[in-house]
Each structure stands twice: as structure tokens, then as C-alpha cells.
Amino acid sequence: MSRKKRFILNPETLVAELREEARGWGWNALWVTLGALVLFLLFMWLHVYVLEQDLPKTAILKRRNAYWASRVERMKARMDRYEEMLGLMELRDDRVYRSVYGMDEIPQAVRNSGFGGQDRYAALAGTALEGVGRRMDLLEKRVYIQSKSFEDVWTLQLSAGDMAAHIPAIAPMNTDPSTYRMSSPFGYRSDPILGVGKRHTGMDFACPPGNPVYATGDGVVVKVAHEHKGYGNHIEIDHGFGYMTRYAHLSTTEVEVGQHVSRGDFIGLSGRSGRITGPHLHYEVLYRKDYVNPALYMDLTLSPEDYAAMVRKPEGQ
């Protein structure tokens, strides 16, 4: 702290006296503070408007927002997969299980009905989480309705004897993806030979000749044919309860007309007989004499080990 000399009037002697007094830092501190403030404002102006950089707090908030936005997107992607899986279960339930037992389909208005109450999502209004919350609640309700439907079907099945065993409910060959390729699904397609649009009445499992083929449900063999055209060597099984299956383009047939078979019994080997452009198994499911999508009656995601445990392999394999 510096010292300053100045004349001060002595009120007693009425004489001006030269005295030293301490000089304070008040004004200096004020100027230093104002200078620092100006430099700070200049720095912020350059940082934000010239360099176009975010303020520290803004940058933190943006990082947090990006993190939670990515979490929400991953959640949406998972819900998309769950909705797809649940949709297939609902379709199989309505078209297969409930239909087999003469039960009415569950209306889509019931499956997709939301929850009551206007304020249920008020806290999330205007945010991305509002839609996520609605979808999660709807999924939860659909899962509950589906579980109740399965319980109803199971209860009825217990009193329906062996009906379920006759439903063609497994794939006609091992589900190991290295042994086949789904070359043509059920539905309309361009005919590989004629080149015109035509309804494909089954599913084609492209595979080398010699793949074991199995009965997909209990039933009675009603046809074993060996032809050079059309289905080629093929087998038809009547499962009762309105169901019939057909296995076409075989290389060999290992069953006879009138023979009773059980689900998983070995019935022949895949091949390339009949009207065909390449070796494959053509598999059809008919319900009440109408072709239906075989994919609704099988689970191709079943592990090869679990599939092998359900079937009776041919001798030597």
C-alpha cells in the first residue's frame, strides 16, 4: 500500500500541517474488477459468436440430451422387435390355436385398446418419452391379453384329447440353417418356370437331395405317389380335424398308404423329382381344403438340438 502526503488544517492551531496518509486500494480494485469483467465478456463473445462454441453448461446439457436420446432410440428399437414377435404370436394364436378349437378370434380393437385417463401421460407430455410410455403400456396390455388367450386354449386343449398332437406344428426338416435355405415362401410369386405371377401354395426348403423329412403331426398317410411331373414323388398325410399336409419332390418315400404316423416320424428324403428347377422340399398345409401359410405352424428358430430331440431319425443317421 503506497503513502501520500497532503496538507491538512489543524482545527486547534489553525495551521496547515503536512501529513502522510495511507492510500487505499478501493479505486484500483474497482478498475481491476471492471477490466476483468470486460476481458471475460470479450472472451465469451469470441467463444460463442466468433468461434461458435457452446457455453460449458449448454455443452453438458447437450451431452446429457444426446445420451438419453440414444437410450430412447435403443428402447424404441427393442420395442419394435417385441411388437413384431408379439404380432406373430397373436396371428398364430388367432389363425391356428383358437381356430383349431373353434374359438373366436380376439378382435384387434380389444388387443390394441389403450388405457383410460387423460392425465396418465401428463408428466411426459411433449417429450419423446410420452410415445414410449404409451407403447410400453400397450405392449403390456397386449401381452396380458395374449397370456390369457393361451391359458384359455390350454384349458380347452386339456379337455380336447389328443387334438393338439395332430396339428402340423413343427418344421418338416431339421431347423439347422446350414442344411437348407428358404427359397420360396407362401404367397404370390413369379413362377420360376413359366415366369408369370402365380400363387405359391407352400414353402420351399432348398437343400441337397437326401435331407430327412419328418411328419409334422400325428395322422394317417392317405397318398404316396411317384410321378415325373407336378409334385414328383410326394406324400400326403391326413391329420384329422380338417388338417392335411403334403411333402413333395422327394427322392424316396418311406411310408405306405394307410400307415399311422406320429409327429416326428421319418417319412422320406428330399430330392428333385417332378416339375422343379432345383432340389428342394415343397411343403404344404391345408386346413378344411384351403391352403394356409405353413410358417404359422412352425418355429424355424428352434435350435437343431431341440428339433432332433423331437424326431425319430432314420437308421444310420
Give tens-digit pLDDT for 82-100. Answer: 888 888 888 888 877 777 6
Residue 249: predicted pLDDT: 97
Q: How far apart are alpha carbons 308 and 287 in whole angstroms? A: 27
At 179, the amino acid letter reads T
Closest CA to 182 of 66, 303, 282: 282
The structure's pTM equals 0.53
Q: How far apart are alpha carbons 199 and 57 in whole angstroms? A: 62
User: Which residues of the chain carry a pLDDT beneath 70?
Assistant: 1-10, 14-28, 43-56, 100-102, 114-124, 126, 128, 159-161, 189-197, 316-317
Residue 292: predicted pLDDT: 93
Residue 154: predicted pLDDT: 82
Helix, strand, or coil (residue 155)? helix
Give tens-digit pLDDT for 266-284. Answer: 999 999 999 888 999 999 9
Helix, strand, coil percent values for the chain (each to nearest 5): 40, 25, 35
Residue 92: predicted pLDDT: 84
Closest CA to 254 of 224, 210, 294, 219: 224
Strands 187-190 and 197-200: antiparallel
